[in-house]
Amino acid sequence: MGVCTGPLWARCVHFGSITLLKGSLSGSVSTRQGVSSNSSSRPPDTSLFVPLSIKSDVGSDGAVGAELTQPLDKNELLKMLNKFYKRKEMQKIAADQGLDARLFHQAFISFRKYVLEISMLSADLHIIFNDICCGAGHIDDLYPYFMRHAKQIFPMLDCMEDLRKISDLRVPANWYPEARAIQRKVIFHAGPTNSGKTHHAIQRYLAAKSGVYCGPLKLLAHEIFEKSNKAGVPCDLVTGEERTFVDEEGRQAEHVACTIEMCSVTTPYEVAVIDEIQMIRDISRGWAWTRALLGLCAEEIHVCGEPAAINFVTELMYTTGEEVEVRNYKRLTPFSILDHAVESLDNLRPGDCIVCFSKNDIYSISRQIEIRGLECAVIYGSLPPGTKLSQAKKFNDPEDPCKILVATDAIGMGLNLSIKRIIFNSLVKPNINEKGEKELDTISTSQALQIAGRAGRFSSIFKEGEVTTMHRDDLNSTWAISEFCPSTAGLHPTAEQIEMFAYHLPDATLSNLIDIFVSLSQVDGMYFVCNIDDFKFLADMIQHIPLNLRSRYVFCTAPINKKQPFVCTSFLKFARQFSRDEPLTFDWVCRHVSWPLVPPKNIKDLVHLEAVHDVLDLYLWLSYRFMDMFPDANRIREIQQELDSIIQVGVRNITRLIRATETNAPPGTNPLSNQRRLGPSPVSPRRVRGAPKAQDSGVEGSQLDKSLGSRLVQEGLLTPDLLRQLQKEWSKVHRQEEGVKLVAGNNKTKGNKKKKK
């Protein structure tokens, strides 16, 4: 794959006429087979194998063994068992049967416990022990009985080959026979943000007899839904939480706009549009793009995305024998990279958008902007769609005094905004890596381009965009952001695969089944198994609730925010009520969320209202999977719309909520995060580059800088520039006072000397 060079914002942009990419299918397959054979030899992670408990019941043949031989002494049994455990030959033979050192040890502990605690051994095992004790047998004769016990507590040992076949994910293209039965034409619309690539794909979608649009967000699906119907093309809307049919009798339209997880891979279409294809490598949702790209049953597949993804998509299509036609687009409006940072909120201008990567930064900066007498709109990911659109409308309205936007990277997709200048408050974003670990990473080129491209959009009042950073040091590092080229596609185990696993391992928990599946899964070099931590989190949460496997699996795929305790508690109550076969009625939900609700009085109230909105989303999501048990979807949607309006009121007054939160907060705490204030600025989870340090003032250890000064900056009452100016003045006064004291002291010393004389 070629390496892209040049400035960040111009990087990976291909120009030129239509090109046709072809490749050697046989060569590609042989290479991938080589990778696959390596992965198939990978041993399973046996730490995931949980031993089953075996009851020490009396053998079915009672005391026959003792009657035929003689009673056994427990001390002698223990000696024989320990001698067997130390036999290296036994461990080697057991390893060939799938018992590595860890499993061998666990199996032996269980076997020893069984032998010593059972009141009467089975006749055959009793006779074997007696023969060994009398010298008529060898200690190795215990091996078959040990292995029989090991397979009872580790049932996966008997079906390992079957489990490997079920978890073989090396040829996902074969999972979609309907798509493989037709010769699809794949067109890649490549270009940067605001290049019109999606517009051209949608024009073909509207002209087709039937079509499906697959987008990453509900907002995007809703936008295409409205655009299609306004253009006179009847179109349905399908998201995880909503089904809208334009036909009054509920008949399906020939066109549908959906979130990508909801697309049908069995319905035939003339045209399918897959938006933001670069998300195929997303560690959580990438599987949905893989499924759509390989499985959509459409004559034409129009893929929209960044040029950096062209090579990978082309290579992926080699596995299906389909050619990729590439159409390149230029950005419709120019934008420039400024050579200076903003450095202070005093330098903000109308049309500015400050991009943060945490809600706490949003709250803090909004408060500081208000102190300067400016109004700002606020957009972040956990806001309801209606509230996001309301804030976008407020910011875009030329008659509204709100001319500043403070937002997270949620603005990167789905919202049309009239932005002149994008200002990155930070280039560091909290992420979860492929191992499920949290880490702070510098944003990728793809993320930076997606966000920066919102400046100077074609349909906005600004015909040219600008991009810069808040802090000077970040400006220098912006152009060193790592390159982003998708090289793998996500996969996820299906309910059918997990059910087949459960057939072989009926006593395993769902979380354990998923762990074993991933451990045994075989993927080639083009794919990876998506992160399943959220799935396992939910599976563990409801493990004690009696549910059949399919229902449990569906519950665990629900898209919930596990960081919200109220959402998790609601999820648990939903599952428990469901397990009792008691429908979750409108009245039940209203009691649970304490409906009706009132506008928020502080940030804590606002966060709770957002959580309630998520709970209602969860109800709607489940209502389309279990209609009988969640029967009041329409009434729930009505109160959710009311709640959206209440949240809009709160967000419009967000600075007032922040002030109320600060007023009620205990001294020495950060009211926005409930954490002790550890740094000089609340604007970032790390120390903000360019923020004043104690030594900058010229008075090391100055009390002004250490306590009062940092507090004033945090609360937005002082800017860093004003703080430095105050430090200089204080330092000057301090030196003058010290000079006066020194002169007075010298004069006093001279006077004392004269008196002595």
pLDDT tops 80 at residue 704:
no
The answer to whether residues 191 and 298 belong to one domain is yes
Q: What are the φ and ψ backbone dihedral angles of 20, each rounded to 5 degrees?
A: -115, 120
Task: Give residue 22's pLDDT band: very low, low, confident or very high (50, 70, 90).
Answer: very low
Among 10-24, 53-67, 403-417, which stretch is predicted with the lowest mean pLDDT?
A: 10-24
Measure Cα distances from 746 to 530, 749, 750, 756 in Å: 76, 5, 6, 16
Run of H or E including 299 = strand 298-305
The answer to whether residues 653 and 528 belong to one domain is yes
Query: Residue 88: which region, alpha, beta or left (left: phi > 0; alpha: psi -120 to 50)?
Result: alpha
Measure Cα distances from 622 to 554, 615, 740 in Å: 9, 11, 77
The answer to whether residues 145 and 75 belong to one domain is yes
Q: Mean pLDDT across the chain, nearest whole number?
A: 81
Quickly list DSSP for 324-351: EEEEE---SS-EEE-SS---SGGG--TT
* Strand partners for 109: none
Average of per-residue pLDDT across 399-416: 88
The answer to whether residues 533 and 637 belong to one domain is yes
Q: Of 156, 158, 273, nearest to 220 (Cα)?
A: 273
The answer to whether residues 86 and 60 belong to one domain is yes
Among the candidates 662, 691, 721, a domain finishes at: 662
Q: What is the pLDDT of residue 210?
A: 97
The answer to whether residues 395 and 427 belong to one domain is yes
Average of per-residue pLDDT across 312-318: 94
Task: Confirm whether 466 is domain-assigned.
Answer: yes
CA angle 527, 194, 357 (to 5 degrees): 65
The answer to whether residues 453 and 529 belong to one domain is no
Residue 456 belongs to a domain with what CATH number?
A: 3.40.50.300
Amino acid making up residue 73? D
The answer to whether residues 303 and 339 belong to one domain is no
The answer to whether residues 306 and 369 belong to one domain is no
Average of per-residue pLDDT across 310-339: 91
Beta carbons of 581 and 534 less than 8 angstroms apart: no
Average of per-residue pLDDT across 300-307: 94
Among 90-104, 484-498, 607-621, 731-745, which stretch is predicted with the lowest mean pLDDT?
A: 731-745
Q: What is the pLDDT of residue 289?
A: 97
Measure Cα distances from 591 to 212, 542, 544 in Å: 39, 22, 24
Among 60-64, 104-108, 480-484, which stretch is predicted with the lowest mean pLDDT?
A: 480-484
Beta carbons of 572 and 555 less than 8 angstroms apart: no
For the entire predicted model, the pTM comes to: 0.75
Task: Confirm whether 724 is domain-assigned.
Answer: no
Q: Which residue has the higher pLDDT, 460 or 205?
A: 205
Q: What is the pLDDT of residue 708?
A: 56
Q: Radius of gyration (Cα) for the chain, nearest Å?
A: 33
Task: Give residue 473's pLDDT band: very low, low, confident or very high (50, 70, 90).
Answer: confident
pLDDT tops 70 at residue 139:
yes
Task: Confirm whether 38 is domain-assigned.
Answer: no
Prior bond of 596 cis (ω within 30°):
yes
Task: Confirm whether 386 is domain-assigned.
Answer: yes
The answer to whether residues 353 and 286 belong to one domain is no
Q: Which residue has the higher pLDDT, 267 or 446?
A: 267
Q: What is the pLDDT of residue 240?
A: 92
Amino acid making up residue 466? E
Measure the CA–CA gap between 736 and 465, rounded to whole angstroms: 50
Among the candidates 662, 694, 729, a domain finishes at: 662
CA angle 217, 541, 611 (to 5 degrees): 45
DSSP 665: S
Q: Of 340, 348, 205, 210, nearest to 273 (Cα)?
A: 205
CB neighbour list of residue 448: distance below 8 Å, 6 or more residues apart: 8, 424, 427, 478, 481
Quickly list DSSP for 679-692: SS-TT-SSPPTTPP
Q: What are the φ and ψ backbone dihedral angles of 84, each rounded to 5 degrees?
A: -60, -45
Measure the CA–CA gap between 567 and 714, rounded to whole angstroms: 31
Per residue in 247-285, pLDDT (tens digit) is: 888 889 999 999 999 999 999 999 999 999 999 999 899
Measure Cα distances from 218 to 406, 564, 632 in Å: 22, 21, 21
Task: Confirm whether 750 is domain-assigned.
Answer: no
Token look-up 């049953």 returns: 297
> Into how many domains does the chain fold?
4
Measure the CA–CA gap between 33 and 389, rounded to whole angstroms: 48
The answer to whether residues 316 and 339 belong to one domain is no
Task: Confirm whether 694 is domain-assigned.
Answer: no
Best mean pLDDT range from 434-438, 691-695, 744-748 = 434-438
Sign of CA dihedral 716, 717, 718, 719: positive
Task: Confirm whether 241 is domain-assigned.
Answer: yes
Per residue in 622-653, pLDDT (tens digit) is: 999 999 999 999 999 999 999 999 999 999 88
Task: Give residue 429's pLDDT band: very low, low, confident or very high (50, 70, 90).
Answer: confident
The tokens of 9 are what? 């914002």
The whole domain housing 402 covers 335-477
pLDDT tops 70 at residue 37:
no
Residue 557 belongs to a domain with what CATH number?
A: 1.20.58.1080
Beta carbons of 334 and 213 less than 8 angstroms apart: no
Measure the CA–CA gap between 320 and 316, rounded to whole angstroms: 8
Residue 161 belongs to a domain with what CATH number?
A: 1.10.1740.140
Per residue in 537-568, pLDDT (tens digit) is: 999 999 999 999 999 999 999 999 888 999 99
Measure Cα distances from 402 to 249, 399, 534 in Å: 44, 9, 38
Among the candidates 165, 192, 226, a domain finishes at: 165
The answer to whether residues 655 and 548 belong to one domain is yes
Q: What is the pLDDT of residue 40?
A: 44
pLDDT tops 90 at residue 749:
no
pLDDT tops 50 at residue 688:
no
pLDDT tops 90 at residue 583:
yes
pLDDT tops 90 at residue 485:
no
pLDDT tops 80 at residue 743:
no
Measure the CA–CA gap between 387 and 218, rounded to whole angstroms: 13
Best mean pLDDT range from 321-325, 700-704, 721-725 = 321-325
Beta carbons of 539 and 495 less than 8 angstroms apart: no
CA angle 644, 646, 647 (to 5 degrees): 65
Per residue in 101-136, pLDDT (tens digit) is: 888 888 898 888 888 888 788 888 888 888 888 888
Average of per-residue pLDDT across 290-303: 97
Task: Confirm whether 500 is domain-assigned.
Answer: no
The tokens of 169 are what? 């994910």
* Strand partners for 513: none
